[in-house]
A and B are shown apart, each in its own frame.
Chain A
Amino acid sequence: MVIKVENLVKRYGDLIAVDHLSLEVQQGEIFGLLGPNGSGKTTLINCILALLKYDKGNISIFGKPMRPDAYDIKRDIGVIMQNVAVFNELTVYENIDYFCGLYVKDKAERKRLVEEAIEFVGLNDFRSFYPKKLSGGLLRRLNIACGIAHKPKLIILDEPTVAVDPQSRNNILEGIVRLNKQGATIVYTSHYMEEVEQICTRIMIIDKGRIIATGTKEELKSMINIGEIVSVGSVELNQTQLETIRRLPNASQVEYENHNLTVTFAKGRSNLLNLMDLLRKENVDYGSVYSQLPTLNDVFLEFTGKQLRD
């Protein structure tokens, strides 16, 4: 086990930021922490890293208690913070070298690691650039390089793709998967469910400092009673036809607005086919139709009654 958190409680005055939370992160996984802004993800991470005081609980990393002076543990951890943490007066190369040098004493080895990190994040053409000259995406890549250059066994990334363009975002996500394949255990926090779904092998959804659900994305989706959501576009329906649709097997929710029909089906067979058959029998024309499997947002919605992005 790489990380073990037991019954953690962190309060800011009257506000409980982390509420009796326990988790375990196994070696080799990409563990996703998903939750809306203010859900306590960063607070949890800062407690795990021994940056923040907490009121109650136990935290261990690599089987040892995590403390601020646990340098042997810290040596194997790489952290990429939500806010870019680089020195504006140092070039790309110097920044990575500086932070890598806090972990690796040997100059020759450090040089090799810095070169590898630059190569890894694709900043070869920008090595002599100062951070202010880099675009937002390149700056995020530098931020990542500074956190991973020393080849840590555990990498914690806290919202690394905030305010990043889609191309850089893909680049970052691919990089995280590559790091994992190279042997690093990853803890990835985000409020972007698509990212978490895309790369994480196990996901914990939290809200208001409490665990909502934990599992693989398939396990999480299986926890809710939604099989699929079918959307039909440019469709003309009368009240009788809508009533007929509502009586379809497994149809739990029917919405009709601006000539768009959305039917939420509980788990069951042939939901889409049943709807299509009905529309054909009623001689209803439509412009488009697609079926969507439940998302993590649906999981969050079902457990908390609100959208992830609320």
Chain B
Amino acid sequence: MFTHVFKYRLKCLLRDKVVLFWTILFPIVLSTLFFTAFSNLNNAVSFTSAKVAVVDNEAYRNNKPFQEALVSVSEKRDEQEPLLSVELVSSDEAETLLEQGKVHGIILLDPDIKLVVKQSGMHQSIIKSFLDQYRQISASYGTVILRNFDIPANGDTLTRFPADDYLTELPLGKNKTDNTVTYYYALLAMASLYGAFWGLRVIGEVQADQSANGARINLAPVHKMKTLLAGILAAWIIQFVELSLLLLYMILVLKVPFGNQAGYILLTCLVGALAGLTLGTLVSGLVKRNLGLKIGVLIGLSMLMSGLAGLYFAPFKYIVIKAVPMLAYINPANLITDALYALYYYDTYHRFALNIALLLAFSAVFLLLTYLTVRRDRYASIPSIQEDN
């Protein structure tokens, strides 16, 4: 009997084009839009070196520390663009290059260091910052020497220009930091919560006061819970497969980094699917009759939870964690994103396990509450089959 009901529940759900659209096609479309938006964003902010013409005169040739400081910021390091791209030219050539817009500024040592620019902008600011910093360090060393500190007074010291003393971003764990992944994780969480629409349907079809089909099923010699469990199992499998497909699309087509722990990622999808599904069964069990209201509540909840998990603005996730940590722990969407985040960035599984355990606990609570709301055998009224009489 269970197999019979399960088979037909699976068929019904798989042929429900509306719910299929929202649970698989919509997240795929949204992830593609994210991909397009992030690609443009990355291109827009990609860094290029500031081009600078340095006048090759007597003062320059005599200022060895400055020459070496220039070299230190114009060398390519770790595949990253250098701060400055330097051309050593005569005074006239420098002016011509600036006029033609081929350089952003001219550095002239006369003997003080001067910067000539034609307009203001990011590159001009970079050159100015470099020169300001050089002047500041030169002055500091001058003071040290005047006060007879035990530091060699040769110019070599200045060659250690702090280009490599800037803050360097280091990954906490095994993978490099990528801020955009939070959006994709939140999207996967949203897709998980959209499994609630399956839950809504599953409940509607076993409750006599919610649908005519529910009434007919209640009249059959089958325990309602058996029918309900068959429906939940079918919906869970479909939702898990959908999430896996979405995950594959993100990894293989959009090249979103998810790490290399496929088993744990799939486990997150499996548990996330259950959390979303059971959230739907609970809302469907609690909100009586009005299908529109149920859908509205579910969309609102999933949007709110996904939003708090960083779907619309990634830093929001961290703001919530910092300001209202409890909210982060009771938000299934956040738990899903956090589980994926922990898998990607951390070497240990403590945080991942905590998230999965909390998701399972919430699913169990949702399921228990669903059972309590739908377990009754007789109804007070049955509007679904009692319109006129």
Contacts and interface: CB of A to CB of B under 8 A. Distances in A.
B99 to A, nearest CB: 73
A77 B219 contact: yes
Given A37-B388, A52-B378, A74-B219, 20 more contacts: A46-B386, A50-B377, A51-B382, A68-B378, A69-B377, A72-B221, A81-B215, A82-B385, A83-B384, A83-B387, A85-B215, A85-B385, A87-B12, A89-B11, A89-B16, A99-B216, A101-B8, A102-B220, A159-B389, A189-B389
A90 B13 CA distance: 10
Contacts of A71: 221-222
A103 interface: yes
Most buried by B among A35, A42, A77: A42
B217 interface: yes
Given A52-B378, A74-B221, A84 B212 contact: yes
A22 B211 CA distance: 29
A12 interface: yes
B385 A94 contact: no
Nearest to B220: A102
B389 A105 contact: no
A46 B379 CA distance: 10
Contact of B5 (A43, A50, A67, A102): A102
A114 interface: no
B322 interface: no
Contacts of B377: 50, 67-69
Contacts of A158: 385, 389
Given A51-B378, A81-B212, A83-B212, A42 B389 contact: yes
A39 interface: yes
Contacts of A49: 219
A92 interface: no
Top 7 closest pairs, chain A to chain B, by CB? A68-B377, A42-B389, A89-B15, A71-B221, A85-B212, A102-B220, A83-B212
A52 B382 contact: yes
A51 B208 contact: yes
7 contacts: A40-B389, A46-B386, A53-B379, A72-B221, A84-B212, A85-B215, A103-B221
Contacts of A38: 388-389
B32 interface: no
B213 interface: yes
Interface of B: 1, 4-5, 8, 11-13, 15-16, 208, 211-213, 215-223, 377-382, 384-389
A101 B378 contact: no
B317 to A, nearest CB: 38
Contact of A86 (B208, B213, B388): B213
A72 to B, nearest CB: 7
A77 B215 CA distance: 14
A77 to B, nearest CB: 7
Most buried by B among A12, A99, A189: A99
B389 A52 contact: no
Contact of B213 (A39, A40, A87): A87
A123 to B, nearest CB: 18
A287 to B, nearest CB: 39
Contact of A42 (B4, B379, B385): B385
A13 B310 CA distance: 48
Given A46-B386, A72-B221, A90 B213 contact: no
Nearest to B209: A51
A98 B208 contact: no
A193 B13 CA distance: 41
Contacts of A69: 223, 377
Interface in A189-234: 189, 191
A53 B12 CA distance: 31
Interface string A93-130: 01000110111010000000000000000000000000
Contacts of A299: none
Contacts of A189: 389
A75 interface: yes
Contacts of A105: 1, 4
A51 B223 CA distance: 14
Most buried by B among A42, A46, A50, A79: A46
Contacts of B1: 101-102, 105
A83 B385 contact: yes
Interface in A1-57: 12, 35, 37-43, 46, 49-53
Nearest to A54: B378
A83 B217 CA distance: 14
A99 B220 contact: yes
Given A69-B377, A87-B12, A43 B219 contact: no
A219 to B, nearest CB: 24
A12 B12 CA distance: 35
Given A74-B221, A82-B389, A103-B221, A94 B378 contact: no
A74 B385 CA distance: 18
Contacts of B222: 71, 102
A172 interface: no
Contacts of B208: 51
Contacts of A77: 219
A145 interface: no
A146 interface: yes
Contact of B386 (A42, A67, A79): A42
A99 B222 CA distance: 11
Interface in A113-169: 146-147, 158-159
Contacts of B5: 101-102
Contact of B218 (A51, A67, A103, A191): A51
Contacts of A191: 389
Given A38-B389, A51-B219, A94 B8 contact: yes
A42 B378 CA distance: 15
B215 A41 contact: no
Contact of B215 (A51, A101, A146): A51
Contacts of B212: 81, 83-85
A68 B375 CA distance: 12
